Structure 1
């Protein structure tokens, strides 16, 4: 029982930390251009042909 008293607050704290990191990434614009990285893989650069 004492283990649960310790693990539940730790789990809730880690969940809140992950949620805060997600909202921080949203605010910094990490998820604005999801298709750009996928399209860059398909683009053949001039320098790569050498």
Structure 2
């Protein structure tokens, strides 16, 4: 069915964009998690004196 070809390319295009967005979100959250992990280590060194 040649009339379905543009829809197939469009779906491939959307899939590529969605995978790129998901990859960027995962990289952002991974970087954010590493930063919070470093901050938690700093806070753990601090001793509370009640």
TM-score of the superposed pair, with normalisation by structure 2: 0.56
5+ long unaligned stretches in structure 1: 34-50
**Rg larger for:** 2
Higher RCO, 1 vs 2 (CA within 8 Å, ≥6 residues apart): 1
TM-score of the superposed pair, with normalisation by structure 1: 0.56
5+ long unaligned stretches in structure 2: 1-8, 42-50
User: Is the helix fraction higher in 1 or 2?
Assistant: 2
Q: Which runs of at least 4 in structure 1 moved beyond 4 Å after TM superposition?
A: none
Instruction: Give the superposed CA RMSD.
Output: 2.0
